[in-house]
Structure 1
Amino acid sequence: MSSLRILSRSLLVGGLTAALLAPGAGARAEPTPAELTRQIEQNSTKLERVVESWNRLNEGIKANQAAVAKLTARIGPLEQQVAQGRADVGRYAVTAYKTGGLGTAEVLLQTADRDELLVRLSTLDQLARDRDRQVAGLGATQRQLLDQKTRLEATLARQAAQSRELATGRKKIEADLSRLYELRRRAYGSATEKPAAKPVAAPKTKTPAASGRAGTAVRYAYGALGKPYRWGEDGPGGYDCSGLTSAAWRAAGKSLPHNTAMQWNVVAHIRRAELRPGDLVFYRSLGHVALYVGDGKVIHAPTFGRNVEIRDVDLMPPYGYGRVR
């Protein structure tokens, strides 16, 4: 089953949230704030999985676009090689005719010196071999060009189909978010947290010093505190969980894919005792990721309607730990 179909099926979360917002039957009591909080957390977790599926698909599309660019860059030179090969064959034909390509019988009749005859025959034979190689090379180049074009067209077709399905998927996610925000409004009186007017200052608790690239990533994460959760984004105005970690390490000169599971696949897996600032902490069976900043704390983009925050590393049971290589 393709990731797109998995993504579409995951979007059935909307049915769950819609049921929560439907008018109650008879004298059914309204959910308590505690019940709404639990429902919000459950649906946020499910929707975050959908977002991470979308992020994975988007990473695939970016890879396809890069492949398309490389293929396009190669097609021009290949076409030039084909044209040059044809021109070379044409020049050989003219040259061979002018230098004696009139047939062995005429050469024998016109040449009295046997050694000269052998030289001319050898030259003609070599020219013929060269011509055969040129023709073979031309054919190989043409086949290579056609193969490159075929792969390019197939990549473009897949990309177009993925883009159409992504557009549909995005609308469904946004509809689910609207329902989720309504749950938050009913529970807390506000659909979303208000973004901080300015970056939240680092806590007074002393954190281990982090130098080098890891230090840059940690400082970036501190600068993102208080900014809103925005699905599919990697800053600077907002972040989802893997968007924050990829942006922090991008600022440090390292490229991480914008997807939690893909980040897990590219980092070095370490033990908890080895954690140091800049490492990644993974949660929810690779459905969530945070940046470790030292002193038992992580910074993460929590979920819909909330802002980037600093929390204890055990904000939920960790799945594993990773170090950017």
Structure 2
Amino acid sequence: MIGGLLVSGVASAPAWAQRDTGEINDEIEETDQNLTAAVEEYNQLAQEAQDNRDMIAQTQESLDSAEADLDSLRSQLADYITATYVDQGIGDAALLLESGSPDAFVERLDRLNSANLYSFDLLDELKTASEEYTTQLDLLEDLQADLDEQEAELKQRQDELNARMDDLEEEWQAAAGDAITDYDLPYMNDDEYAVVSFALDQVGKQYVWGTAGPDTYDCSGLILRAYAQIGIELPHNAAAQYRETASISRDELQPGDLVFYNDLSHMGMYIGNGLIVHAPNSRTVVKVVELDHGNVWYGATTILH
């Protein structure tokens, strides 16, 4: 097959993409842990806040009921006093003494005292209950204000962590390289074509650590399986593959050669015209990217030349 140089409009990776992907992944994991903790803390606080709102509602109901009973009792007592002292003309001791027979006076006085004593006792009891409910409601509302403030702070923290995670995901993707789908391949011999075409057939399949096909791959697993197509066995480890193959310079790269990055923590396969195919990381899929795509160059080796 004959191909020309790829014309690509892909911009160079931003400066921050030059961090080792292992370092990026460590921060992603730490940020994810912090985010998970913040979410759980928020969920717990949200439950506490809801429980507190329920208590506020219950206390408000009790307060409303106590105040309604208090108002009713006040009204009844006012009506009773009015009926007894005004309607019946009993305004002072002299009127009581002049109010009929001694038996009638004693009976009226007993009724009045009994009603007053009962009413005043209940009135005091209801006042106490109302004051207690009001105090409790004030405390609960103060607590709710604190909970609302804590909720807002946790929500802001979540938003900040989510924003940071988005940045890290973008950085990770940049380190994995922007996928290239329109490219030409140079002439290849049979072995080169066998390993390269197999690797390219895996494009789009998900990265899963520790796997070597047929449906998922990690970086060394992709190379291992590609070379198995021509009967060559390789270890399932990037550093081990580097040690067991012959080192070459970048200028010597040919299709099928191995390329290594990030202090041997990542690798891919050169396919020609300045491109490689690799299984980047768990947040993306097998894809074709530029040789200098964001991961930090380490070296290259060959098996076929």
TM-score for the superposition, normalised by structure 1: 0.44
Bigger relative contact order, structure 1 or 2 (CA pairs below 8 A, ≥6 apart): 2
TM-score for the superposition, normalised by structure 2: 0.47
